């Protein structure tokens, strides 16, 4: 199974793909259709994954995850059978490098040799691919690319899951790149760099984008589950009750008195970690400008006060990212539902915009 490179533009699509975001907390699906001038959300939905069924991106309980996905597909009944999914975390390495070749064919022929210099796994254990970062700019010493290497066992687990539910595994992408594709799908090519932060259950993706190109991508080991567990520890509540309070709060002032400082402290730690990543990018970037805006997505992006806290610590204005901005909604889908789940659908939307050549 080939590990594919970065997404191409929607207009180049020859065959649609089903956006399938397989997370440790939930599975999200987005199916889009196009008539050439507008894009329509044909079906969209999510389903919770049993605790510990997916850990650090690895599917530990295939039967349980398969059942969840089958039920979700049965409810949504998508027409598209070619699935695009993505991975992140320890199982994938994304690194910007310069290779001493100008021709893409030559890069591909020598990619394994170049990858061995940077990949911290046995080369036989990974799928490798690349993406040329700037075709117009020629480096005197070669070509600047994103090198991508993914653990075979993780990619193969996802392929097996997709086949088990009757779909065809067409694309395996990287979460951060799918986010960039979603941003371009919603707003086009932005002329100023922005940073996308997708807060998942167990990990957070950071991607700095300028004019459709990823300048910096990193996965960070924190997410919403960490906050739920902190609330649970502080209050003694069951996990699902702690999850509910994290998202919606509580009218019980005694509980909120315990929960609020816990949330503020931990979210402050997240912001500091993000600021360190931004500072690292700034210190190592000589040609591109510093981001002027932060867009947050994911299940925890809409936490009350998170935008202000990130703004105060990171120093960038924060907006909640709606990846479905400007899309037409199928008449069978409630607009209120789209509004409620949109920030969680960024990766799935980016995958649904993926190009698949016939």
Would 4 be classed as within a structural domain? no
Q: What is the pLDDT of residues 6-22, one digit of tens each?
A: 334 333 445 789 999 99
The packing angle between helices 253-283 and 224-235, to 10°, is: 150
Report angle CA 288, 291, 295 to the nearest 5 degrees. 140
Would 191 be classed as within a structural domain? yes
Would 248 be classed as within a structural domain? no
In percent, how much of the chain has pLDDT > 90? 63
Write down the mean pLDDT value for the chain. Answer: 88
Q: What is the pLDDT of residues 228-246, one digit of tens each?
A: 999 999 999 998 899 999 9
Helix, coil or strand: residue 172: strand
Would 253 be classed as within a structural domain? no
Would 246 be classed as within a structural domain? no
Q: What is the pLDDT of residues 80-116, one digit of tens each?
A: 999 999 998 888 988 889 999 988 899 999 999 999 9
Would 240 be classed as within a structural domain? no
Confidence at 136, pLDDT banded by 50, 70, 90 = low
Averaged pLDDT for residues 143-160: 93
Q: What is the pLDDT of residues 158-189, one digit of tens each?
A: 999 999 999 999 989 999 889 999 999 998 88
Sheet holding 318-320, edge to edge: 213-220, 204-210, 194-199, 294-298, 318-320
Quote the CA–CA distance of 162 and 70 in Å, as a whole number. Answer: 10
Of the chain, the end-to-end C-alpha distance in Å amounts to 16
The count of structural domains within the chain is: 1
Quote the CA–CA distance of 79 and 32 in Å, as a whole number. Answer: 10
Domain, as residue range, for 273 = 10-228+264-352
Would 245 be classed as within a structural domain? no
pLDDT at position 126? 93
Which range (8-17, 94-103, 147-156, 298-307) has the least confidence?
A: 8-17
Q: What CATH number has the domain bearing residue 158?
A: 3.30.420.40
pLDDT at position 358? 45
Would 2 be classed as within a structural domain? no
Quote the CA–CA distance of 33 and 233 in Å, as a whole number. Answer: 45
């Amino acid at each position: 199974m080939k590990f594919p490179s970065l997404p191409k533009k929607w207009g180049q699509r020859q065959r649609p793909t089903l956006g399938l975001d397989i997370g440790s907390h939930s599975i999200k699906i987005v199916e889009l259709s196009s008539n050439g001038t507008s894009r329509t959300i044909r079906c969209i939905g999510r389903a919770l994954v049993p605790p510990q069924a997916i850990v650090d991106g690895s599917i530990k309980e295939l039967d349980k995850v398969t059942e969840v996905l089958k039920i979700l597909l049965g409810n949504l009944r998508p027409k598209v059978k070619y699935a695009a999914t993505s991975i992140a975390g320890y199982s994938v390495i994304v690194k910007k490098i310069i290779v001493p070749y100008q021709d893409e064919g030559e890069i591909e022929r020598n990619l394994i040799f170049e990858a061995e210099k940077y990949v911290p796994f046995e080369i036989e254990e990974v799928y490798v691919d690349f993406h040329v970062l700037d075709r117009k700019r020629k480096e005197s010493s070669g070509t600047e690319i994103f090198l991508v290497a993914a653990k075979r066992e993780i990619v193969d687990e996802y392929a097996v899951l997709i086949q088990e539910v009757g779909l065809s595994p067409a694309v395996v992408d990287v979460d951060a790149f799918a986010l960039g594709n979603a941003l371009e799908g919603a707003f086009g090519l932005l002329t100023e760099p922005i940073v996308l932060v997708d807060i998942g259950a167990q990990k957070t993706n950071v991607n700095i984008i300028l004019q459709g190109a990823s300048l910096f991508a990193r996965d960070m080991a924190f997410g919403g589950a960490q906050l739920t567990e902190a609330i649970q520890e502080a209050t003694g509540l069951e996990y699902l009750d702690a999850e509910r309070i994290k998202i919606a709060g509580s009218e019980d002032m005694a509980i909120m008195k315990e929960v609020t400082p816990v949330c503020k402290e931990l979210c402050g730690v997240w912001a500091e970690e993000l600021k360190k990543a931004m500072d690292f990018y700034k210190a190592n970037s000589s040609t591109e400008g510093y981001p002027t805006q932060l867009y947050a997505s994911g299940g925890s992006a809409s936490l009350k006060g998170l935008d202000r806290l990130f703004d105060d610590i990171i120093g960038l204005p924060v907006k909640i990212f709606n990846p479905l901005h400007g899309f037409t909604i199928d008449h069978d889908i409630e607009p209120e539902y789209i509004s409620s789940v949109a920030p969680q659908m960024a990766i799935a939307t980016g995958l649904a915009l993926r190009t698949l050549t016939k």
